[in-house]
Amino acid sequence: MYPDYLAGYVKQVERTRPKRLELALTGEPVFPPMTAAEREDVLTKYHPDYSKGAKRPVRVGPNKGEEMTTEVAVLMEAHSMIRPKLLELGLREPDYETDLLIIGGGGAGCWAAITAARQGVKSLIATKLRIGDANTMMSEGGMQAAVSRTDSPTRHYLDAMGGGHFENDPALVRVLTEDAPEVVRELENLGVIWDKEPDGSMQVLHGGGTSRKRMVSCRDYIGAVIMRTLMDEVRNHPDLISIREFEPAVELILDENGHCAGAVLYSLDTEQFLIVRAKATIIATGGFGRLHIRGFATTNHYGATGDGLVMAYRAGAKLKFMDSVQYHPTGAVFPEQIAGFLITEKIRGAGGQPLNRFGELFVFPREPRDVESAAIIRECSHDRNNGIDTYVGRTGVWLDSPIIDMIHGEGYIRRQFPGMCRQFSRFGIDITKEPMLIYPSLHYQNGGIAINERCETSIPGLYVAGEASGGVHGRNRLMGNSVLDYNVFGRRAGHYATEYARTAKLGRLSLEHIAEHARALKREGIDTDMISPLILPSYTPEDVKIQQLARLGNIPAMHSMLRSRFTPEERRTRP
């Protein structure tokens, strides 16, 4: 039940539903899909990537002079936690030695470790929180894979390229789409229970921007199912895979020849720095939703602070598409307790319709994500004023879910979306009878560290897999291609890093790149109190931070709780 002030708007949805249902049952588009020119127009006018102050040139590092999302540029220009001299790497014995160091304990990291173990190679997974605390766990709706008779990897390839505005790296998209059917089989062999049709074939649904039904699913909690399966398999190899939890990596270590040779970890328990010496290193640190870019709420897990980007960049790896951010069209707006929470695109794939305050459709429900989000922002903007305001100052539009049962038959929503039903029922809202109030939520890091099909970066011995990498999705990822991405590239990274580690010879360990970064900040006259990686998001209000700093006698605070997100200059110029 919605409070009275929203219940009146729900009536509008009910009023227009019979006509909308009639149209949906014909199988025709319920609203005209946009032309290419209309898409371009709505993106440039309303997508947050195009808003004032959204991007600026970064002043140091391999992408110097190129535009990056402002919040990301700030991280790239921040200080390291490490004082290289104090660690005296040349003299110190490493705390851990391993063949592969895998930074991150989500889907990509687990797959890399499993693949290495299958080849008899030892790995160490170092993760910031617990294994499985990752965006992998947060995914709901499904994974794209061309498994139906009417589909093919080529069609999948074309859809992914189109979704990414044809800026994706074609070689990466090719392996993404060609490996997909095998990933489905592999996951099933490991224990994933896919949704199936009564004849035993895979159940497939549409996502935004897909020309064929291609979304395979596990109800609406695919992330939890895959993550559990991969964690189980990791724990099946205790002799070959060791796990360090609450020990995030904070800097990479190179050797004297510029090859990656491991990382410095920071124990969140003891606040000690620990040295890992590794023949090959894989970054699988996921995305950056907890940077709350442009002030947006996020669908991401608590640790998603873009740490891998910072470490790789400082070590000299090039980043790609760092001016592009994905906002999921349907994040929860009400109730306030779950603001930003992911409402899966599978809801629109099954027939759910976005509606304005008059209960009217204003966009085709399955436009590519960036376009759909921009159209929702336009509907709520001052130009149209067709959003619904909540008492705490959020605005959203409706996502009509009850219409799904009317299209597919009663009970469909409860069968396909048990997670979503439960989440809303905790707040007394029955989504089989009432719509959900939604607005775009910061969801995905479209860009990342540049890799090739072997997951290699420009630094020998450094590999990247999953959301931390850039290139496969261009400037806009389609639904279900991230779940596929970490599965495909996690396996590949494990395989190729294993091959490399078999013959790698490491020279003297060095943190000279950190010292060089400090010199570059000085040369560019960058005056900042930021330290990165952030490790954990700071939700401490600015006035409290100032009091904390005052108590510490203005010593540059080392703890992330005390870090400000913007330089004084950026605070002044932010819109």
Output the CA–CA distances (angstroms, integers) from residue 279 to 239, 240, 498, in the order listed: 18, 15, 9
Classify residue 18 as exposed, middle or buried by CB count within 10 Å of its CB (0-12, 13-18, 19+): exposed
Query: Would you state the structure tokens that stand for residue 342, as one six-digit string?
Result: 């992911």
**Rounded distance between C-alpha atoms, residue 51 and residue 53, angstroms:** 6
Cα angle value 9/10/11 (rounded, 5°): 85
Closest approach, Cβ 125 to ligand SIN, in A, equals: 24
Catalytic residues: 328, 348
Q: CB-wise, 248 or 340, nearer to ligand SIN?
A: 340
Binder among 61, 84, 141, 209 for ligand SIN (CB under 6 A): 141
Binder among 39, 346, 378, 495 for ligand SIN (CB under 6 A): 346
Q: CB-wise, 360 or 400, nearer to ligand SIN?
A: 400
**Rounded distance between C-alpha atoms, residue 192 and residue 203, angstroms:** 14
Q: Among residue numbers 424 through 463, which ones bind ligand SIN (CB under 6 A)? A: none
Taking each continuous run of H as one helix and of E as one strand, the counts in the chain are 19, 20
Closest residue to ligand SIN, judged by C-beta, is 141
Three-class DSSP labels, 298-334: ECCCCCCCCHHHHHHHHHCCCEECCCCEEEEEEEECC
Q: Among residue numbers 480 through 499, which ones bind ligand SIN (CB under 6 A)? A: 480, 482-483
- From first CA to last CA, the distance across the chain in angstroms is 37
401 binds ligand SIN (CB under 6 A): no
Closest approach, Cβ 564 to ligand SIN, in A, equals: 30
DSSP state of 79: B
Q: CB-wise, 217 or 285, nearer to ligand SIN?
A: 217
Query: Coil, strand, or helix at residue 47?
Result: coil
139 binds ligand SIN (CB under 6 A): yes
Q: CB-wise, 329 or 461, nearer to ligand SIN?
A: 329
Q: CB-wise, 165 or 237, nearer to ligand SIN?
A: 165
Closest approach, Cβ 143 to ligand SIN, in A, equals: 8
Q: CB-wise, 137 or 241, nearer to ligand SIN?
A: 137
345 binds ligand SIN (CB under 6 A): yes
225 binds ligand SIN (CB under 6 A): no
**Rounded distance between C-alpha atoms, residue 169 and residue 452, angstroms:** 9
Closest approach, Cβ 38 to ligand SIN, in A, equals: 23
Closest approach, Cβ 293 to ligand SIN, in A, equals: 16
Q: CB-wise, 399 or 509, nearer to ligand SIN?
A: 399
Closest approach, Cβ 223 to ligand SIN, in A, equals: 8
In this structure, is the dihedral angle defined by the CA atoms of residues 359, 363, 368 and 372, taken in order, positive or negative? negative
Segment interacting with ligand SIN, rule: CB under 6 A, options 136-144, 195-203, 230-238, 288-296: 136-144
Segment interacting with ligand SIN, rule: CB under 6 A, options 93-101, 137-145, 494-502, 506-514: 137-145
Please answer whether residues 276 and 124 qualify as being in contact, where contact means their C-beta atoms are separated by less than 8 angstroms. yes
Peptide bond before residue 84 is cis, with ω within 30 degrees of 0: no
367 binds ligand SIN (CB under 6 A): no
Query: Coil, strand, or helix at residue 24?
Result: helix
Cα atoms in the 13 Å half-sphere on the side-chain side of 428: 4
**Rounded distance between C-alpha atoms, residue 373 and residue 299, angstroms:** 14
379 binds ligand SIN (CB under 6 A): no
Binding-residue total with ligand SIN (CB under 6 A): 11
Segment interacting with ligand SIN, rule: CB under 6 A, options 70-78, 138-146, 520-528, 542-550: 138-146
Query: Would you state the structure tokens that stand for residue 137, as one six-digit string?
Result: 């766990």
Binder among 68, 479, 493, 497 for ligand SIN (CB under 6 A): 479
Peptide bond before residue 29 is cis, with ω within 30 degrees of 0: no
140 binds ligand SIN (CB under 6 A): yes
Output the CA–CA distances (angstroms, integers) from residue 414 to 206, 410, 419, in the order listed: 19, 9, 9
Please answer whether residues 29 and 412 qualify as being in contact, where contact means their C-beta atoms are separated by less than 8 angstroms. no
Binder among 344, 373, 445, 487 for ligand SIN (CB under 6 A): 344
Closest approach, Cβ 324 to ligand SIN, in A, equals: 15
Chain residues binding ligand SIN by CB under 6 A are 139-141, 342, 344-346, 479-480, 482-483
